[in-house]
Structure 1
Amino acid sequence: MINVKQSISINRPPSAVFAFVGDQTNAPRWQRGLATVRKIGDGPLAVGTRYEFVRMLMGRRMSGENEYTQFDPDRCVAFNATSGGWPLEASYEVAPAGEDATRLISRIALQPSGPFRVLQPLFATALRRDVRTNLGSLKAILEARDGR
């Protein structure tokens, strides 16, 4: 099992950070390798909200779906991959970090399967690097003057 936990401080209020990361259709703007994300169905974001995604991973196109397992506005969103390969659980937690600043914590648990289990240490290193890069991109986008 690969477990990654990283955090970053973002100079935006928690509500603004949560609104952006809580809507996965924003993710291709800041997550490397993520080509598209589409919400499945109508209605507000909540536990049970589902998304389908297309991601490039090690030069291969991978598609799948995930579903929100926790949705606590302005605090935490968590989801599980429901298809698309390896079992994955992920979450984003936001907390105040001073005036108009937020601490965002990203957690990912991923279980490579089959012959890829042997390469788990390499995947873990690459995933940690990607999460760090992605959080830096998220910070840059959200701290831009208009936050868009």
Structure 2
Amino acid sequence: MPRFAHTLSVSAPPSAIFSIVDDVSRTPTWLSRCTGIDKLDPGTNDVGTRLRYHYADGRRTGVMDGQIVAREPDRHFAMKFSDRMMDVTVDFVAASDGVGTTLTHTIDIATKGFGRVFSPLIKRQLPKQTLDAMTALKRLAEADTSL
């Protein structure tokens, strides 16, 4: 099961980071392979809110159904998505460090069926993909705070 976690410091409060990840319509601005996330339930986000994740990976596009699995404002946000080849959990934990925020981003991918063939490739690509997403998320949070 490919898994990658990374922690970095962000010069913005946890609320700035949380407002970005909680607004799933903004995901394509910090996650390059995401082309959109549809929120399938009305109202505010909460644990159990259903989502549909659209992605492009090279010439391959796809859709994964999911839901919010953890939501503690300004502290913790996680989503889980599934399709026939994998289950993906995307997790963010933010903590004030007195100056800004320490942000930990963890991705867990459980491949299944034919998707298991791709596990070695996913394991190699996951660190760069996660670091790129965190860099973009950090840049957005710090820019939002400077406005």
Q: Which runs of 4+ in 1 moved over 6 A?
A: none
For residue 93 of structure 2, what is the aligned residue in structure 1? 93
**Equivalent residue, structure 1, for 2:129:** 130
How do 1:22-61 residues align onto structure 2 when only pairs under 5 Å count? 22-61=22-61
Q: What do residues 46-75 of structure 1 show as CA deviations (whole Å, max 9, x unaligned)?
A: 111122121012420011221011111111
Stretches of structure 2 that go unaligned for 5 or more consecutive residues are none
Cα distance in 1 between the residues matched to 2:136 and 2:46: 25
Q: Which moved more, 1:3-12 or 1:76-85?
A: 76-85
The match for 1:10 is 10
Separation in 2, partners of 1:145, 1:22: 14
Measured in 1, the distance between the counterparts of 2:74 and 2:40 equals 22
Counterpart CA distance in 1 for 2:94 and 2:144 is 20
**Could you tell me the TM-score, scaled by structure 1's length?**
0.89
- SS of aligned partner of 1:32: coil
SS in structure 2 opposite 1:47? coil
Give the length in aligned residue pairs.
147
The secondary structure found in structure 1 opposite 2:93 is strand
Q: Which amino acid in the other structure matches residue 103 of structure 1?
A: T
Distance 1:47 1:76 in 2: 11
Matched, 1:73 2:73: yes
2: distance between equivalents of 1:78 and 1:15?
A: 15
**Residue of structure 2 equivalent to 1:62:** 62
8 Å Cα contact 2:37/2:52 also seen in 1? yes
Mapped contact 2:2–2:123 kept (Cα < 8 A): yes
User: Is 1:105 paired with 2:119?
Assistant: no
Percent sequence identity over aligned pairs: 25
Structure 1: 5+ residue runs without aligned partners?
none
User: What is the rounded CA distance, in whole Å, between the counterparts of 1:128 and 1:146 in structure 2?
Assistant: 27
Number of the residue aligned with 1:21: 21
Letter in 1 for 2:46: A
Q: CA-to-partner distance for each residue in 1:68-109, whole Å, 9 max, x for gaps?
A: 11111111112211446411222111101222x111111111
